[in-house]
A and B are shown apart, each in its own frame.
Chain A
Amino acid sequence: MASARGENYTVLIVDDDPDLLQLLTDGLELLGNFRVVQAVDGIQGLEQYFEVHPDCVIIDVVMPGLDGYQLVKALRGDPASAETPLIMLTALAQDKDEFVGLAAGADQYLVKPVKLRNLVEAVQRAVQITSEERQQHLLALAEKHDESAPEE
């Protein structure tokens, strides 16, 4: 089991910006002591996921192939990957973008630019989330925005 600092965690980063991908990789390796695996689009992200079975996935939204929302849904909807912590990291900063990301199944939604220290802490928080907590958050979000709920 990984320690509280997360030295043994494997993190998959999926982002189509090669410069940012390398910056995030260096930062997470240095500050978080994580093992980092990279993917440059949603399809490669799926392939890498089932290759390395990471402890956490950081996902950009705007990508070719599969976009970030689709990648989150593909991972969350498969029992083989459904319990993996997923963090969206994107330049899309509107409330509706965050809502769509969390509704797709992301555990956290972070807006670029993000401080590397904050991203490390986000990964450390995400890997602590239990299946029950994830399910409770999902149901609370669904019920809060349920269109068929009774009206006052």
Chain B
Amino acid sequence: MLRNPLSTLVVADPDIAYQRQIISLLESSFRCFPASSLREAYQTIVRERPSLITLELTQPDGDGIGFIQYLQAEPSLQHILIACVTERSSIADKVRAFRAGADDYFVKPIYGPSFYGQMLLLRRTGHMARNFTKK
């Protein structure tokens, strides 16, 4: 049996405990790289060329919504699927994130088995849903 190469995921969260939890949940199906700020997330994205990113919207060096807009505006990065995994639960934040280009939105605390399944399905269907949304 062959195994397909794991896709690469950047986990952008300033909370180290959450970084570890997300990586622990997903590392069987993703090559995970942590980042503790938007600056570090950008550097890791450029270096590792991920297909997905999990993004805490509240970051020490800026707002995650603006970071989503930046990724979406940059042709070489706009293919990256973006899952917000955040403490922010307001309707306004959810709407702003999706309108900026987020592909999924999880409010902390995350529930392990469901989160794992939803991330696998995001990897599989994220671009199909994105094509629909942009029609």
If the complex has contacts A70-B133, A79-B107, are A135 and B117 also in contact, measured as CB distance less than 8 A? yes
Please provide the chain B residues from 68 to 126 with a CB less than 8 Å away from any CB of chain A in the complex. Answer: 89, 91, 94-95, 98, 104-107, 109, 111, 113-114, 116-118, 120-125
Contact, CB under 8 Å: A145 / B7: no
Contact, CB under 8 Å: B4 / A151: yes
Is B17 in the interface zone, CB < 8 Å from A? Answer: no
User: How long is the Cα–Cα vector from A65 to B53 in the complex, in angstroms?
Assistant: 24
User: How long is the Cα–Cα vector from A145 to B114 in the complex, in angstroms?
Assistant: 15
Contact, CB under 8 Å: A148 / B7: yes
User: How long is the Cα–Cα vector from A151 to B2 in the complex, in angstroms?
Assistant: 5
A43 — nearest CB in chain B belongs to which residue? Answer: B95
Contact, CB under 8 Å: B107 / A145: no
Contacts of A139 in B (CB 8 A): 113, 116-117
Residue B1 contacts which of A43, A82, A148, A152 (CB distance < 8 angstroms)? A152
Is A105 in the interface zone, CB < 8 Å from B? Answer: yes
If the complex has contacts A79-B111, A145-B121, are A150 and B29 also in contact, measured as CB distance less than 8 A? no
User: Which residues does A use to contact B, with CB under 8 Å?
Assistant: 43, 46-47, 50, 61, 65-67, 69-70, 73-74, 76-80, 82, 96-97, 99-100, 103-105, 135, 138-139, 141-143, 145-152
User: Which residues does B use to contact A, with CB under 8 Å?
Assistant: 1-7, 29-30, 89, 91, 94-95, 98, 104-107, 109, 111, 113-114, 116-118, 120-125, 128-129, 132-133
